[in-house]
């Protein structure tokens, strides 16, 4: 099949090949000027943004939107694969990426594709981590080396606490974490007496956030997802607050703090079942 035929191919089982062919054409002379100018660095933020948009669609369970957003994530993978294929120092594309992924999946699931025994999720995760450390030849290196590398701080905190909990570095009960939250909150209160911008205030607030992440982990709550849900709830309620204030003939700038608080409480009452 020629490149033109592949670009216009409608066979369902060949649509990934089609997407690769389209991306290749976009990067070639006579293709798209914007696509041709891009580098790994210039589209890095796109990869992050598309992942978060996909997460949002999945949380909303809007399946048409999920299909679109997963396609946008796949586009980023195909784009980076095209760029590596053009680079003589890399010279690999999507097929080589998929091959390495397949080999890794087989290698790290010896309880499925080999003779290992892993009867539950905890055993699988422990086995996965052991194999990963052996593959990367870092069994004698610091346990937390490269853990959460490149992740945003909240997600990295979650990953760090999950990893140390695997070796028993954890509170014995949730009550211990709640007590620690109270302790850190008191230290934040003390730090607030310091001048604005003092580094100790940032340090204490960071400690408080870190302990809250631990409680999320222990309760099976992903803190990134929890905060995303809280953001969405706040945005929804504030939009409703704005409607209420405007219905009273005021703008947000004209409404007093007391009037906005009353509207906020009304929003919360309206959402109760």
Q: What is the pLDDT of residue 143?
A: 84
Q: What is the pLDDT of residue 129?
A: 83
**Over the chain, what is the mean pLDDT?**
93
Q: What is the pLDDT of residue 273?
A: 74
What is the distance of C-alpha 259 from the center of its chain? Answer: 37
CA–CA distance, 71 with 62 (Å, rounded to integer): 14
* Residues of the chain where predicted confidence (pLDDT) is lower than 70: 138-139
C-alpha angle 173-179-180 in degrees, rounded to nearest 5: 95
Q: What is the pLDDT of residue 56?
A: 86
Q: What is the pLDDT of residue 172?
A: 95
Q: What is the pLDDT of residue 138?
A: 64
C-alpha angle 100-101-102 in degrees, rounded to nearest 5: 90
Neighbours of 79 (CB within 10 A): 19
Phi, psi of 28 (to 5 degrees): -85, 160
Phi, psi of 86 (to 5 degrees): -80, -15
Yes or no: say if 164 and 144 are a contact pair by the CB < 8 Å rule: yes
105-157: pLDDT as tens digits = 999 999 999 999 998 998 998 898 888 888 877 667 788 888 888 888 999 99
Q: What is the pLDDT of residue 60?
A: 87
Q: What is the pLDDT of residue 146?
A: 83
């Amino acid at each position: 099949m020629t490149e033109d035929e592949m670009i216009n191919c409608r066979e369902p089982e060949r649509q990934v090949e089609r997407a690769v062919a389209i991306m290749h054409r976009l990067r070639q002379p006579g293709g798209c000027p914007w696509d041709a100018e891009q580098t790994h660095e210039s589209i890095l933020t796109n990869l992050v943004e598309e992942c978060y948009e996909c997460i949002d669609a999945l949380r909303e369970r809007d399946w048409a939107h999920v299909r679109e957003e997963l396609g946008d994530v796949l586009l980023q993978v195909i784009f980076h694969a095209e760029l590596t294929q053009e680079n003589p120092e890399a010279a690999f594309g999507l097929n080589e990426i998929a091959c390495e992924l397949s080999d890794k999946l087989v290698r790290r699931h010896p309880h499925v594709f080999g003779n290992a025994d892993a009867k539950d999720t905890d055993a699988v995760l422990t086995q996965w981590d052991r194999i990963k450390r052996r593959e990367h030849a870092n069994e004698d290196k610091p346990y937390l080396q490269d853990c959460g590398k490149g992740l945003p701080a909240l997600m990295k905190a979650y990953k760090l606490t999950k990893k140390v909990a695997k070796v028993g570095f954890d509170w014995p009960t949730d009550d211990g974490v709640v007590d620690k939250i109270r302790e850190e909150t008191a230290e934040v209160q003390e730090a607030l007496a310091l001048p604005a911008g003092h580094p100790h205030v940032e340090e204490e607030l960071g400690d408080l956030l870190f302990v809250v992440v631990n409680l999320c982990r222990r309760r099976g709550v992903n803190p990134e997802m929890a905060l995303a849900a809280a953001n969405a709830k706040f945005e929804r309620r504030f939009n409703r607050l704005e409607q209420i204030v405007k219905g009273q003939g005021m703008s947000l700038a004209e409404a007093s703090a007391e009037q906005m608080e009353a509207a906020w409480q009304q929003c919360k009452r309206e959402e109760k079942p």
